[in-house]
Each structure stands twice: as C-alpha cells, then as structure tokens.
Structure 1
Amino acid sequence: MSKASAGDSIWSGFYKRPVGERQKVVAGERGLDAADLAVLNKDGPLPLNVADSISENVIGTFGLPFAVAPNFLIDGKEYVVPMVIEEPSVVAAASHLAKLAKETGGFKTDYSGSIMTGQIQLVKLKDAKEAAKKLEAEKESILSEAQEMGGHLKSFGGGVQGVAVRTLASPRGPMIVVEFNVNVVDAMGANMVNTLMEKMAPSLEKRSGGTARLRILTNLAMHRIAASSAVWSAQSLGGEEAVEAILDAWAFAMADPFRRATHHKGIMNGIDAVGIATGNDWRAIEAGAHAYAAIKGASITTYSKTPDGDLEGKIVIPLAVGVVGGSMKANPCAALGQKILGAKSSGELARIMASVGLAQNLAALKALATEGIQAGHMRLHARHIAKMAGASEKEVDGVIEFMISGKQVNEAGAQAALRQLRSK
C-alpha cells in the first residue's frame, strides 16, 4: 500500500469515530505525547461531548480569555460587557474609553430593526428581461406566498416584509435575483431565512421559467443597521492637541484604503469579542461590516470637533446578531456571556456592540496618534512574560519595569530581572 493510500485509510470515516479514537489518530500521525493529550482532555466550560455535537472531527476544545469591560453607559443604562479575545489591551482600552464617555453622558444609540435579506438566484432564463417583468408584476402574489410559507415567524412578531427583483449582468450571462426582506426579531436569522428561501425556490422557478441556483441570505444586512455616538471631553483625551491628532488619524483612514483596513480591524476587535462571548456568528458580522465599508468607500466611524472643542464620535454598522437560538443554547459559555450582558433583544445587543466598536476604535486612534500603539501593548505583553517566567504578584511590577527600561521584553529579560530582584 502506498503512503498516500495508507494515509487516506487512517482518515477514512474519521468523523464517525468517538473523540478518544480521533485523538489517538492525530497523536499517532502528528507525534502528540501524553502531555498534549492532557491539554485536549482538560475540563473546561465547554464539555467535550457538547463540542462534538456542535462541530465535526472534534478532538478537544480551545480556550480563550473570557473578560468583562465595565463602565459602559448606553442610552442611560449601565452594562458590564463580556468580551472573549486573546489580544492584549483591547478590553482595558475599550473599558477606559467607555469610562471617559460616561463623564459626558455615555453612548446614544439607534437601531433600524432586525431585517435580514434572503436571495434566490434564477439562471437558465430564456429572456431575463421578460422574466423580470413578469416577476415584478407578480410581486404582491410572491409576497403573499412567502408570508404564508413563513407564517411561523408571525408567532413571535416576525415575518416577510418585502420583495425585490433585480436583473444582473454576469460572466455567465444575465440572471435574476429575487430578494426577500424578513423580520427575524431577536434571532441572528440565518436558518430562518435560508429555510424560507428553499421553500420559495420552486415557485419562482415556475413563475420565471428559470432554474433556482443559490437560495441563501446575504450577510450584508443593509436593513439591520446599528448606530452609536458619544462625546469625549478634550481634557479627558489629553487636550486640544490630542483631539487634533486623533482627527488627523481618522482622516488618514477616510482617505486611504490601506490604513482603513487596519482602522476597521480595531473596530472589529471590540465587536468580535462581544460576538464570541455571546455566541454570535462573528464571521458573519465581519463579512457584513467590511462589505458595508467597501460600499461606502470610507470609514464606518466618523469624528468631529464640537463647538466646545470636545471630540464627537459616531459609528454606523450592520450587525446581524441575536439573543436566541444557535450556539447560545448549546454553549454554556455563550449563555453565561448573555447573562452577564443582560441584553433582552437583538436590537439592544446590536446597540451595545456598536458602542463597544466605537470605544475600541477611539482607543486605538488615541494610542496611535499620541503615545504610539506599542506602549500599551508592550506593558501588557511584559506582564504576560513576567508571569510566565515565574514572577510572583509582588515581583511582577518590578520585572516589567526592568524589561521595559532595559528594552529587553522577553524571557531572558524577565529571568535577569528576577535574578536581580531576588538577590537583594
């Protein structure tokens, strides 16, 4: 038997095997030892059997820091925001800027509603233009049919609210896309919308004479927009010059797509962390945010100086997030995150996440434009290295100062610091 076929046989039916057997296969193939397997089998908040029911080919669970960011005053209500992220300074920075915003009234938000859009692609049309005309003429009938098929959504206040027909020119020739706007209320909505698209496809094939190819929601949730704004006093940010520096940094992102990519990454640092902590699909959130930004060709945050010389910031972003369904039930960590946050609706969650994104964005701009991004990162990184080197709580601060002042923020620097501290 060849190496290739032997390897193939090892992985054949891998997904059907119990977790323990999968671990043995991976251990044999990749040289894992008993200590490695102990990491995979270590008890955590997500039980291994639950993880195995959520995904495929599971061999263990993967831990990330579960933190909270206090100080968020949003629409007059105090929140403690759960955040799951491994990047240093994100949680501290967002919490600090939220605290500064609280001094001037906190965040004020808006939400357009929980409308998701599903798409059905029609191809192999004899005459796309005529088929589109026919579908346009039958829109009321199509809407009624969709509302009937999605009747279960009405029981909790949702349902199909509109239909649109578009003709697209494509590399494969003309095609039609029929879009359905669906109120999914407090769910993320993907499963609801996708199920409805599957149900409606045969009817649209019959009406158009074409073939329904894709039947799926779009992650560009143009009818599910969250907005948040806040004012920060110039004094709290470091004075008039700091405000000017922040505005220059923001203007750079508005003018240059290369800078804008990193600018938006900072926003999503905060939003994704809340998404993960609450069991939401952060990949879908990312996809929607970046597509929205690409359409705008500009930053999704804006900043300006108030007549008093303070800084006003605003974010506008599509956020398809939910407080019911999905992994929120399966993953106990997600359920805990939802409990800590206390958001009662998808709109409330979206407003909170937008506020976190704005706070995190301003924190990054402030650091970049004033002290430099590495200063805050470096101190947190040094703390991590000090602890990994075996420093006690009493020794940590001294080790950090030694490493930073000596510009040796690494394990060797930490060990040198400990030797010096312990020799006294």
Structure 2
Amino acid sequence: MKGFEKYYRKSWPERLSVLEHENKLTKTEIQQLEKSALAPELGETQIENFITQFSLPEGLGLNFVINGKEYLVPMVTEEPSVIAGASHGAAIVKKAGGFTAESEQRAMRGQVIIENVSNVAELKKEIEDVAPALLQTAIEAHPSIVKRGGGPLQLAVRVLDHDLLSVDMIIDTKEAMGANMINTMLEAVAAKLRSDLQVDVLMAILSNFTTECLVTASCEIPVESLAKENLSGKEIAQKIVQASRVAQLDPYRATTHNKGIMNGIDAAVIASGNDWRAIEAAIQSYAAKDGHYRGLSTWQIKGEQLVGQLRIPVPVGSVGGSIGLVPLVQLNSTLRQEQDARELENIIASVGLAQNLAALYALVTDGIQKGHMNLQMKSLAASVGASGAEVSQVIKRLKKLPQQDAAAAKKILYEIRNEGFKK
C-alpha cells in the first residue's frame, strides 16, 4: 500500500485518488465519499487524513423546563427512541413544574506525575511549600485566562504509591472546557519542578475525572400523576424506586441503567460540539467514585412525591474546540438559548434525568420493547429499501407478524411492490 505513505500530506482529492488506485474503493464509491463531504475545508481543519463527513441525525428534545425556563434541546443520535424517551420524561416533569438544576462549581483538574521518589512524605512537603510559586508559573504560562477572571485556583499533592506523587492543580477555565489551556499550564509547572527540585516528571496531563465540575438535576413528581391503565401512580412510583435501588446494588444493572442516561447526555453533548468522550469518561468514573460501580441517578418517595436526582460531572464549554468551527453547533446554541457553560451543564444533566425517568417508567410498566417497536420497525423498513408510503405499509403488515425481522420486512416489501405492479 505504497500510496498511503505520507497520506496526511496529500490533499483531499489526492487521498480519494489513492483509495481508487489502491483498489480499496470503486469510482462509484469514491463519488459517494465526495457527495458526503459537505464541507471538506472544515473537515481538513478538524482531523487528520480526512476523506469525508459522516452524518448522524439530529432532532429536538421537547418539553424541557429547567429552573423555570423552557428549552428546545438539540440531540444528535442514530438510536431510535432516545429523543422520544427524553421528551416523554421531560413532559412528565414539566406537568409537575419542571427540573431544578444547579452547577455547584466549575473547575477542571490537571496532574503532574512524579516518579522515582525516594521519600514521598519529604517531597510532598517540599512541593507544598513552593505551591504559590508553582501557581504563579501556571498563571504566567496562560495569562489571558487570568484577565478573564479564571486561572489556577489550588495546588495539592497526593501520594499514589511509595515512589509516586501526583501534583494536582485545580483550574477555573471560565467558558472553555480548557484542555489545551490546562496542559500548557501543567507543562510549565512540570518544567519548574524539574529545574527547582530536580524531580523525575513522568507526565503532565489534564484529568477527565472532573470532581470539581459537578451538576445536580432534580425533580419532584406527584405520585398520582404516574398512574397508567391498571397500575396506580403509587405502584409505579414504588417500582421506579425499587428499580433505582437495584441499580445501586448490582453493577450489571447499573451499567445498563447508566447507559440509558448517557443515551440522552451523549446526544445533547454531541449537538453542543463538546468532547463527548471526555464527558463519558468523567461520568462513568463518577459512577464508581466509592469503588463500587453504581447507578448515577436515585429515585425515592417523599410524602406524595416521587423525587429523582442525578448528580454528575459535566465538564463542557461554550467556547473552544469545534464549538466555534462547526456552523451547526452555533445554530444549536441559538436553539437552546443558554447564556453560558453553567446553563449548558444544567440542560445536559436534566436531559440525563429525563431519559432515566422515561426508561424506568417503561421498564416497570409495559417493558422497554413496546415503546421501541414503531421506531425499530421504521428503521427496519428503511434498511430493506422501503421508501415514502412503502414504509408505513411495511410497518402496518409487520405488526401483524409474530416474527418481525429483516427477512419478514423484505418479503412484505416485495409483496407490496408486486401488488403495485399488478395494478
């Protein structure tokens, strides 16, 4: 594959040409890549070895009232029922007055790891004694953030093992998520530690476990409003509480419980242009903060109210990264109408709690599949080639069959088209 040597140096058309010349794709397939690349100039600035843009559907989460303000929430996901579920959960809470959300603190953490330490207690004290000078070094490495009211807030030293220390720095990054800013400061601090204390620095890097960037979303729902068909509101509320309890006790259930929460959070974060992998890392780590992996949300009955709470780290920014580069990200911010990163954090946490409520409500009543089936069948019909009016016809016939799979959908589509041909 000689054509791929120094691939990163080639222009976009040259990269596509290599794929054809190396017999990796046909001319028709290359044209498909070209057609999907709606903004190749933008793609070239974002990633390496760019060949095309991969598209995901975007929809709107509705019914969200958070701290008394109503929101439209753009959500990007390929999974059926996620947006419907979030909107349904939000609708239940909206009738009860909406979500309350609070960003407790907004700061990020970085680490300088020191290895080959002969006396950790002694070096820990030495570093703590020069903490003001190290913080000043961090300020000088990125003075513009201080002018905007942010910058390093605190420095602490943790013993990791008999020969390892972590020098932790807490930084107010203001409206940015601040990865590059944090790493620049940390590398300056690492250099000063090397020169002043002659230590062996293993690495300097931000931490995605952002325990200084916690957000709490909560809601209170009258138990009676949860009633459905042959189940009273109290019965459903009790089952939701029990399901929440299981997620606190059993990591197998907690994993799926949290995946459901992240369905909504990831979709909202992607639409915001933030690093959703960083958010996943932060939140999943927080689920195991006490050494036992648990459900992120809790539900309990207080008097006649079902009370839900979700407390998670949400280290997002309103500036930086792809936020200022991608036009749709800016448009999504206009749709959400958030004023700053803290408000965006509140929205994202509330989406997670709404998603969780909808999932638990479905699980303890009709089961998860009933709500999914229409959208799943719609996707199934499209996957076998149905289009336009054919989709609804395929779905209608599929519902009557005990086996609802691709083979059945394909057979139905064949029959529909044959019927049309005979006419």
What's the TM-score, normalizing by structure 2?
Answer: 0.91
CA deviation map 1:91-136 (0-9, x unaligned): 0110111111110110001112220011111123343322111112
Corresponding residue number in structure 2 for 1:12: 5
One-letter amino acid matched to 1:271: I
**What do you get for the CA RMSD once the two structures are aligned?**
2.1
Q: Structure 1 residues 119 and 10, CA, compared in 2 at 3 Å: closer, same or farther?
A: same
Corresponding residue number in structure 1 for 2:416: 418
Corresponding residue number in structure 1 for 2:69: 77
Corresponding residue number in structure 2 for 1:372: 367
| Other structure's SS at 1:329 match | coil
**Equivalent-residue separation in structure 2 for 1:324 and 1:287 (angstroms):** 20
Give the 5 Å matches for 1:181-330: 181-237=170-226, 238=228, 239-296=233-290, 297=292, 298-308=294-304, 310-330=305-325
**Equivalent-residue separation in structure 2 for 1:130 and 1:80 (angstroms):** 54
| Other structure's SS at 2:365 match | helix
Give the 5 Å matches for 1:58-137: 58-137=50-129
Corresponding residue number in structure 1 for 2:331: 336
One-letter amino acid matched to 2:200: T
CA deviation map 1:255-299 (0-9, x unaligned): 111111111111111111111111100000000111111113322
Deviation for aligned residue 1:232: 2.9
| Other structure's SS at 1:86 match | coil
Deviation for aligned residue 1:398: 4.3
**Equivalent-residue separation in structure 2 for 1:14 and 1:74 (angstroms):** 48
- Judge conservation of contact 2:137–2:188 (CA < 8 Å) in 1: no
**Equivalent-residue separation in structure 2 for 1:152 and 1:419 (angstroms):** 65
- Judge conservation of contact 1:274–1:353 (CA < 8 Å) in 2: yes
Q: Structure 1 residues 26 and 248, CA, compared in 2 at 3 Å: closer, same or farther?
A: farther
**Equivalent-residue separation in structure 2 for 1:290 and 1:136 (angstroms):** 31
Corresponding residue number in structure 2 for 1:4: none
**Equivalent-residue separation in structure 2 for 1:404 and 1:358 (angstroms):** 31
**Equivalent-residue separation in structure 2 for 1:361 and 1:233 (angstroms):** 17
- Judge conservation of contact 2:63–2:90 (CA < 8 Å) in 1: yes
Q: Structure 1 residues 143 and 74, CA, compared in 2 at 3 Å: closer, same or farther?
A: same
**Equivalent-residue separation in structure 1 for 2:87 and 2:150 (angstroms):** 35
- Judge conservation of contact 1:132–1:208 (CA < 8 Å) in 2: no
Deviation for aligned residue 1:391: 4.8
Deviation for aligned residue 1:246: 1.9
**Equivalent-residue separation in structure 1 for 2:33 and 2:316 (angstroms):** 30
- Judge conservation of contact 1:280–1:328 (CA < 8 Å) in 2: yes
**Equivalent-residue separation in structure 2 for 1:71 and 1:413 (angstroms):** 39
**Equivalent-residue separation in structure 1 for 2:415 and 2:216 (angstroms):** 47
**Equivalent-residue separation in structure 2 for 1:318 and 1:145 (angstroms):** 28
- Judge conservation of contact 2:58–2:74 (CA < 8 Å) in 1: yes
Q: Structure 1 residues 161 and 421, CA, compared in 2 at 3 Å: closer, same or farther?
A: farther
One-letter amino acid matched to 2:311: V
One-letter amino acid matched to 2:362: A
Percent of residue pairs identical? 37
Q: Structure 1 residues 417 and 360, CA, compared in 2 at 3 Å: closer, same or farther?
A: farther
**Equivalent-residue separation in structure 2 for 1:87 and 1:30 (angstroms):** 33
- Judge conservation of contact 1:403–1:413 (CA < 8 Å) in 2: no
**Equivalent-residue separation in structure 2 for 1:301 and 1:91 (angstroms):** 19
| Other structure's SS at 1:106 match | coil
Q: Does 1:141 align with 2:130?
A: no
**Equivalent-residue separation in structure 2 for 1:183 and 1:379 (angstroms):** 46
One-letter amino acid matched to 2:395: I
One-letter amino acid matched to 1:49: E
